[in-house]
Copies of this chain bind each other. A is one copy, B any other.
Amino acid sequence: MAQKIKLSTIADALGVSTATVSLALRDSPLVAGSTRERIKEHARAIGYIYNRRAASLRTSRSGIVGVVVHDIMNPFFAEILRSIETELDRSRQTFILSNHYDQLEKQRTFLDTLLQLGADGVIMSPAIGTPAADIGMAEDNGLPVVLIAREVVGAEVPVFRGNDAFGVGLATDHLISLGHRRIAMVGGTDQTSTGRDRYQGYVAAMERAGIPVDPSWRVAGPRTKLAGFEAAPRFLDIADKPTAAVCWNDLVAIGLMNGLARAGLVPGVDVSVTGYDDLEEASIATPALTTVWNGQREVGRRAARALLDRLNGATVQLPQDLITPELHVRQSTGEPVERS
């Protein structure tokens, strides 16, 4: 009977948060001594029994989930992370983050740290070149893995990401429907599954419209705002002067638009530009950016739910669950204008 008393019962009775109750019962020094005593006394009075070791044995959980991505500072991940955090908060999981910057060694060190800590699981956007064996070894050592944004061929764990080929197809189709024929693709790399999918989505849309893709239209590489800005001269130097650019993501698109403006052109008028992700920033850019919503909040929510389900012993469906992107048309795209 006594075990059925919840932390929230104590919290409500004393007008403190459940987190404070939890910390106090674990004798955390972070709760002031007097509050801690008041909480423990009340807990004892109503018959609540807390035993950390017992609780840990009962659940076999540390309450810690790791998240590792190539760059936390990319707002695309920021939006995913917020929704992961919201889900994990609800289950009182603590959330620790790390960057791997696409360095396998850094990713391995973080996974190793999580294993040492007895973390409950990890959500990761795998570094370029992650072998399936790395995922398998984490799993075999009791660290369940859920992937976001990128897949690892051969790894039998859930993957949550958008349908990139379809999404880039939406942007490309939109430009074609406005009358563009010479359409460049700016940014991205073939080294990731996402990069290959997005480029293929662009090529497939062009081919569907009967437009042969000129290899010079690909400005590969940029994935950040600064790189997009710096790519503007390369875009403007392409011999047959494309009238539009399908960009790798919103950051590249906004950087490119700033670079075009610096070159005296009006983005959205002289050159049409599309983004990818529909970051918060896309709608307030000048001009407001036509882009593809990539479901990042949904990716985060589903990934966290899948991990929590696994921790709770539920079976999680493996076939990867592609989120269907949507085109959001704004002011950065219009009819083609020939540059002299």
* Chain A interface residues (CB < 8 Å from chain B): 17, 19-20, 23, 26, 28-32, 63-64, 72-73, 75, 78, 81-82, 85, 94-99, 105-106, 108-113, 115, 117, 133-134, 137-138, 140-141, 225-226, 229, 255, 257-259, 261-262, 280-281, 284-286
A115 touches B28 (CB 8 A): yes
Residues from chain B with a CB closer than 8 A to the CB of A261 are: 286
Residues from chain B with a CB closer than 8 A to the CB of A284 are: 225-226, 229, 255, 258-259, 262
Q: Given A229-B284, A284-B226, A284-B255 in contact, is the A31-B97 Cβ separation under 8 Å?
A: no
Q: Given A109-B23, A226-B284, A286-B286 in contact, is the A29-B96 Cβ separation under 8 Å?
A: no
A81 touches B85 (CB 8 A): no
Within the complex, the shortest CB–CB distance from A232 to chain B, in Å, comes to 10
Residues from chain B with a CB closer than 8 A to the CB of A28 are: 108, 112, 115
Within the complex, the shortest CB–CB distance from A30 to chain B, in Å, comes to 4
Residues from chain B with a CB closer than 8 A to the CB of A281 are: 225-226
A262 to B20, CA, bound (A): 46
Residues from chain B with a CB closer than 8 A to the CB of A81 are: 72-73
A280 to B225, CA, bound (A): 9
A112 touches B258 (CB 8 A): no
The 7 closest A-B pairs by CB, nearest first: A73-B78, A96-B96, A29-B137, A97-B97, A30-B108, A229-B284, A19-B105
A127 to B43, CA, bound (A): 29
Within the complex, the shortest CB–CB distance from A112 to chain B, in Å, comes to 5
Residues from chain B with a CB closer than 8 A to the CB of A255 are: 284
Q: Can you list 25 A-B contacts (CB < 8 A)?
A: A17-B105, A19-B108, A26-B112, A28-B112, A29-B115, A29-B138, A30-B134, A30-B138, A31-B108, A64-B113, A72-B78, A72-B81, A72-B97, A73-B75, A94-B110, A97-B97, A97-B98, A117-B117, A225-B280, A225-B281, A225-B284, A229-B284, A257-B286, A258-B284, A261-B286
A9 to B281, CA, bound (A): 48
Residues from chain B with a CB closer than 8 A to the CB of A98 are: 94-97
Within the complex, the shortest CB–CB distance from A254 to chain B, in Å, comes to 9
B141 touches A29 (CB 8 A): yes
A258 touches B285 (CB 8 A): yes
A138 to B133, CA, bound (A): 39
Residues from chain B with a CB closer than 8 A to the CB of A262 are: 284, 286
Nearest CB to that of A28 among chain B residues? B112
A23 touches B113 (CB 8 A): no
Residues from chain B with a CB closer than 8 A to the CB of A226 are: 280-281, 284
A85 to B95, CA, bound (A): 18
Within the complex, the shortest CB–CB distance from A188 to chain B, in Å, comes to 19
Residues from chain B with a CB closer than 8 A to the CB of A95 are: 98
A19 contacts which of B23, B30, B109, B258 (Cβ < 8 Å)? Answer: B109
Residues from chain B with a CB closer than 8 A to the CB of A75 are: 73
A113 contacts which of B31, B94, B99, B137 (Cβ < 8 Å)? Answer: B94
A81 to B106, CA, bound (A): 16
A32 to B225, CA, bound (A): 37
A85 touches B99 (CB 8 A): yes
